[in-house]
Amino acid sequence: MDKRTFGNTDIQVTPVGLGTWAIGGWMWGGTDEARSIDTIHRAIDKGIGLIDTAPVYGFGRSEEIVGKALANGRRDKVALATKVALNWSDDHDKVWRDSTASRIEREIEDSLKRLQTDRIDIYQVHWPDPKTPMEETARALEKLYQAGKIRAIGVSNFTPSQMDELQKSVPLHSLQPPYNLFERDIEQEILPYCRENGIATITYGGLCRGLLTGKMREDTQFTGDDLRKNDPKFQGDRYRQYLNAVAELDAFAKERYQKNVLALALRWLVDQPGVTTALWGARRPEQLDPVDDIEGWSLDKEAMAAIDDILDRYIDDPVGPEFMAPPTR
């Protein structure tokens, strides 16, 4: 897979990265460690050069699994991204934002240990914390950056004004926002801001919690702690609108490119100006088989316009990913 320079750093990444929220198990119905490790190995074998995780994904489990998977010589094959600034109760019943210096100082050591590494390539503030001064957060990150424990400072789910505020105290290298065919709010201000300021992007939710795989049906059941039970996209008439749009997108992809909707959704992301890496969430090795289907072709302006027309015709009650935002303290 081709490499891209990560913003204004010397880090090299690939257009597709592996997202490991589901691998952690929390809100995804549990985890299988051996299968998850096989999935990470398959991603590396396919040339994926960025792996993204976070402490809150399984309350350490995702990072632990990633660390085990990257042992024995695989660590240097990827850019490793993780996050900081979420806290949780001992029983894992509550999660909240916490970007205090003390939280960052604790979490960096925990993450390095779980990931079995001496440095994190891209360290990201998971959500903005309005109850902690931005300067306090920035100074804690700068300390880690100067010590060589992290190679790039990133944020996730930040607005341009919040990024401006952070950059008063520390360099900012990347942003991780939600972005997919169905969730496109960042096109208005955030993507232009990142392009203008040389900030790399790692987009998440590329397949919209599985909607864009083409495998969802109206009678698909979500059980246990599956977050889609609370996702408004998967409820009632709105769910049917999205399913109808997916069916039409799939037909378009097959007719125009001999591809399916999953390949179309990822190719669409990779071709967007300002997107550095698009994350692909997988928890089984075979889920990565379609990676090959996004190589060797691209979407022109006519195809982009046709896709927009499909969305306009089928979805009259769109909704974003706001339901996932954790509370403040």
Distances (CA, A) of 31 to 23, 24, 26, 52, 260: 6, 6, 8, 17, 28
Query: Which pLDDT score, from 0 to 100, does residue 29 have?
Result: 61
| In a domain? residue 250 | no
Residue 104 has a pLDDT of: 97
User: How would you classify residue 174: left for phi > 0, otherwise alpha for psi between -120 and 50, otherwise beta?
Assistant: beta
**CA–CA separation, 263 vs 250, rounded Å?**
9
pLDDT score of 27: 56
Residue 326's pLDDT is 86
pLDDT digits (tens, 9 = 90+) for 139-175: 999 999 999 999 999 999 999 999 999 999 999 999 9
State the catalytic residues: 57
Residue 157 lies in a domain: yes
The pLDDT confidence band at residue 78, using thresholds 50, 70 and 90, is very high
Q: What is the pLDDT of residues 180-193, one digit of tens each?
A: 999 999 999 999 99
Can you tell me the distance from the alpha carbon of 89 to that of 251, in angstroms, rounded to the nearest whole number? 46
What mean pLDDT is predicted for residues 222-232? 85
Question: What is the tens place of the pLDDT at every residue in 168-179?
Answer: 999 999 999 999
Count the domains in the chain: 1
Query: Which band of pLDDT confidence, cut at 50, 70 and 90, is reported for residue 282?
Result: confident
17 near 202, Cβ under 8 Å? yes
Mean pLDDT of 18-40: 80
Q: Residue 72: is its pLDDT beyond 90?
A: no
Which one, of 125, 33, 145, 11, lies nearest residue 78 by Cα? 11
Mean pLDDT for 238-260 is 97
Residue with tokens 């930040």: 158
* Residue 286 CB-half CA count within 13 A: 0
Q: Residue 305 domain-assigned?
A: no
Q: How sure is the predictor about 255, in pLDDT bands with cuts at 50, 70 and 90?
A: very high
pLDDT value at residue 58: 87
Residue 144 lies in a domain: yes
What is the per-residue pLDDT across 284-322, written as a single tens digit (0 to 9) for each? Answer: 899 898 888 998 999 999 999 999 999 999 999 899 998
Residue 147 lies inside a defined structural domain of this protein:
yes
CATH code for position 85 = 3.20.20.100
Here the tokens at position 69 are 């998977």
In this model, does residue 26 exceed pLDDT 70?
Answer: no
Q: How would residue 107 be classed by pLDDT, with cut points 50, 70 and 90? A: very high
Provide the mean pLDDT of the chain: 93
Query: Is 22 or 17 the better-scoring residue by pLDDT?
Result: 17
The domain containing residue 100 runs over which residues? 4-213+263-298
- Report if residue 307 sits inside a domain: no
Q: Is residue 186 part of a domain?
A: yes
Crossing angle of helices 160-167 and 134-147, rounded to 10°: 60
Note whether residue 220 is domain-resident: no
Angstrom distances, CA of residue 168 to CA of 138, 139, 164: 9, 11, 7
> 53: which DSSP letter?
-
CA distance 115 to 94: 24
Phi (first) and psi of residue 84, to 5 degrees:
-155, 170
